[in-house]
A and B are shown apart, each in its own frame.
Chain A
Amino acid sequence: MFVTRKAEFSASHVCRIPSLDDAANRELFGEEANPNGHGHNYILEVTVEGDPDPVTGMVIDLKELKDLLEREIVEPMDHRFLNHEVPPFDRVVPTAPNIAREIWHRLQPRLNSSRTALSRVRLFETADLYVDITRE
C-alpha cells in the first residue's frame, strides 16, 4: 500500500555551470540560467510503501511524516536561495532532477524500516514540469 504526503516550499535558484560561458549556460538551461536567479513554488509529494500496522491500522504515522518533511526539507529550503544557502547546491546545479535526488537522499534512510520504504519522490518545479524518483 502507498501513502502520499504533500509539502510545499518556495525557493530561488539559478542553473549555471561556472566553467561555461553565458551563451553555453543559456543554451543548456534557457532562462533558468539568468545570473541573478529566480524562484519557484516547489510542490513535493512523498510516497511511502508498506503494510498497515495490525494495531494502529497505519502504514506510517502521518504526523511523523509531516514533521520529517518539515525538518529535513521545508525548514532548510523554504524561502532560501538554494545555490547560496542549501548545500550541496553550492557545488551541485539545483536543477529539478538534482533537487529531487537530494530530497530522496535526505528522506530515504529515515523512511526505510522493516515495515516501510520510500517509494517515490515527486517534485513539481512548476505546474507543467515535475520529476519522479522511484525505487525501481
Chain B
Amino acid sequence: MTTLTRRYRFSASHRLHSHALSDAENAELYGKCNNPFGHGHDYVLEVTAAGEIDEETGLLLPVAELDRLVQSEILPLFSHRNMNLDVPQFARLVPTTENVALVIAELLQERWKLRPRLHRVHVQETDRNGFEVLAGAPQNESSLDRQRESVTLNA
C-alpha cells in the first residue's frame, strides 16, 4: 500500500466536561483538563490518503488539492477557536482529542472528492499524546455511530 501524509497545525482551546456527570465527577475524571475556563494546545493534524501512484505524474494525489480541502473546510473551524463554544459539533460532545479526531475524520470523509481514499486521521494534542482514526475501519464506523447517538441522547 502507498500512502501520502500531510501535516497541518492549529491552535485551539477546550475544556473536558461531560454533561452526563456531576461537577465533582468531572473534576475527578478530567483533573486539570476540567478547569472551568479551558486551556489550549498546538494541535498537529495528519491526514493520510491511500491509493496508487499515477504512472504519468508520479503523484499519489495533487497535494495542493488536499491542502485546499483541509485549509478551507477543516482548519478554519478549529484554528484559534474555543472548541466547546465555537465548534458546533462540541456543543454537547466532549472535545477530547479522540472526539476531535473522529469529528475531523467525518468532516473530511463527507467532503472527500480526491481519487485516493482517505485512510487515516491522526491528531497530536501534545508531543506526548496522539490519537488516530482509520477511515472506513469497522471500529471507526461504530465509534462514529456511537458518538452520533450520544449527541442525540444528550441533546
Contacts and interface: CB of A to CB of B under 8 A. Distances in A.
Interface string B1-31: 1111111100000000000000000000000
Interface of B: 1-8, 48, 53, 56-60, 62-64
A134 B50 CA distance: 11
B58 A93 contact: yes
B1 A136 contact: yes
B58 A128 contact: no
A129 B4 contact: yes
Interface in A68-127: 92-98, 100-101, 127
A97 B64 contact: no
Contact of B58 (A30, A97, A129, A134): A97
* Chief secondary structure at chain A's binding surface: mixed
Contacts, number: 57
Contacts of B6: 128-129
A129 B63 contact: yes
Contacts of A128: 6-8
Interface residues of A, number: 23
Interface of A: 15, 17, 28-30, 92-98, 100-101, 127-134, 136
B30 to A, nearest CB: 31
A129 B57 contact: no
B57 A17 contact: yes
Given A30-B64, A128-B7, A129-B63, A95 B57 contact: yes
Contact of B56 (A17, A30, A127, A132): A17
A130 B4 CA distance: 6
Given A127-B7, A128-B6, A129-B6, A97 B53 contact: yes
Nearest to A95: B58
Q: Which of A29, A30, A97, A127 has the most CB of B within 10 A?
A: A97
B60 A97 contact: yes
Question: Which 6 A-B pairs rank lowest in CB-CB distance, beginning with the nearest?
Answer: A95-B58, A93-B58, A98-B58, A128-B7, A132-B3, A97-B53
